[in-house]
Amino acid sequence: MNERSFSTGTRMAQANISEPPVQPDHRSVEILDGVRRAFSEKGFDGASMQDLARSCGMSVGNFYRYFPSKAAIVAALILRDLAEMEQSFRAILASDDPLSGLRATVRFRVSEASCIGEGQLWAEITAAALRKAEISAVTTHMEHEIVGYLTAIFAKVKGIDPEAARDRYYPQAMLIIMLVKSASMHPAENSVTQTRLTDLLLRTIDRTIDDVAADDLKGRTYA
């Protein structure tokens, strides 16, 4: 947990909600959608820089000017996802009942997991992160940012300092991330089985949130 990984959560907790989110330009969206597709089709190692450049209609030379390495591409994809998530977490944090908002957002992400097709990219990046330090740095940063969003919500609900909430509820936040990721990486089941599995995943996440809500704040750490 480095200084940088605290930034978003803390910034969110300080909640300058009026600050407008950065809107990525049309061309960046096209490029990132292209490389995302190429990674899903060929895998992280299978997709060459040439494949990636071609996927967004660029010459290899020009593509290298945007992204000098695959780690740079992953960083760009993750930054975009984080920007989207930050918007939705800001809205949750500003609402009257942040825990209900959180439950609804998680419910949406887990239920739609197999449709969105995020899982494939996540599986590729998870595998690459375990092999390559520069990818690991980017994914760890992302997970710590999401931990920051989640524990900022817990801080508000419990009426405690965001940093104290981050320390106290880090395991709960990480478990929620793991369950959402697992859901997205799980291959589609038949619809009855899928519904039952999704329900159990959501119940497990809800229980984790219930435990935070019921925590009496005694003891140095929780879990």
Measured from the CB atom, is 81 or 143 closer to a second copy? 143
Task: Please tell me whether residue 45 binds a second copy under the rule CB under 8 A.
Answer: yes
Please tell me the count of residues contacting a second copy according to CB under 8 A.
46
Task: Please tell me whether residue 102 binds a second copy under the rule CB under 8 A.
Answer: no
Using CB under 8 A as the binding rule, the residues of this chain from 104 to 133 that contact a second copy are 119-120, 123-124, 126-131
Q: How far apart are CA 180 and CA 150, in angstroms?
A: 13
Phi, psi of 219 (to 5 degrees): 80, 155
Q: Tell the smallest beta-carbon distance from residue 21 to a second copy (Å).
A: 29
Distances (CA, A) of 139 to 88, 130, 153, 177: 20, 10, 21, 12
Task: Please tell me whether residue 223 binds a second copy under the rule CB under 8 A.
Answer: yes
Task: Please tell me whether residue 200 binds a second copy under the rule CB under 8 A.
Answer: yes
Q: How far apart are CA 141 and CA 79, in angstroms?
A: 10
Q: How many CA atoms lie within 13 A of 144 on its CB side?
A: 16
Measured from the CB atom, is 10 or 208 closer to a second copy? 208
Residues with Cβ < 8 Å from 219, sequence gap 6 or more?
A: none
Phi, psi of 208 (to 5 degrees): -65, -40
Binding mask 168-197 for a second copy (x = CB under 8 A): --xxx-xx--xx-xxx-xxx-----x--xx
Residues with Cβ < 8 Å from 162, sequence gap 6 or more?
A: 9, 10, 13, 148, 151, 152, 155
Measured from the CB atom, is 36 or 90 closer to a second copy? 36
Binding mask 10-39 for a second copy (x = CB under 8 A): ------------------------------
Task: Please tell me whether residue 208 binds a second copy under the rule CB under 8 A.
Answer: yes
Task: Please tell me whether residue 46 binds a second copy under the rule CB under 8 A.
Answer: yes
Q: What is the DSSP letter of 217?
A: -
Q: Tell the smallest beta-carbon distance from residue 18 to a second copy (Å).
A: 34
Q: Please return the burial class of 149, using the count of CB atoms within 10 Å of its CB with bins 0-12, 13-18 and 19+.
A: buried
Residues that bind a second copy (CB under 8 A): 1, 40-46, 119-120, 123-124, 126-131, 136, 139-140, 170-172, 174-175, 178-179, 181-183, 185-187, 193, 196-197, 199-201, 203-204, 207-208, 221, 223
